[in-house]
Structure 1
Amino acid sequence: MTDPATIRRLYGRAKGHKLREGQAALVDRMLPTVAVPAGPLDARVLFGADRPLELEIGFGGGEHLAAQAAARPGTGFIGCEPFLNGVVQALGHLRDGELDNVRLHMGDALDVLEQLPDASLSRVYLLHPDPWPKARHAKRRMANDGPLDLIAAKLRPGAEFRLGTDDPTYCRWACMVLGRRGDFRWTATTARDFLARPADWPETRYERKARRHGHEVWYFQYQRT
Structure 2
Amino acid sequence: MSDSDKPVILIADDEEDVRELVGMNLRRAGFATEEVADGLQALKRVKESKPDLIVLDVMMPGRDGLQVCEELRMVESTRLIPIIMLTAKGQTEDRISGLEHGADDYLPKPFSPKELVLRVQALLRRSGPVGDGTELKVGPFVFDLSAVKLTVSGEPMDLTLLEFKLLHLLANHEDEVVERDTILREVWGYSESVRTRTLDTHVKRLREKLGDYADWVQTSRGFGYIFKAPAAVSV
Same fold (TM over 0.5): no
Larger Rg: 2
Structure possessing the higher relative contact order (Cα contacts under 8 Å, 6 or more residues apart) = 1
TM bucket (normalised to shorter chain) is 0.3 to 0.5
Taking structure 2 as the reference length, what is the TM-score of the superposition?
0.37
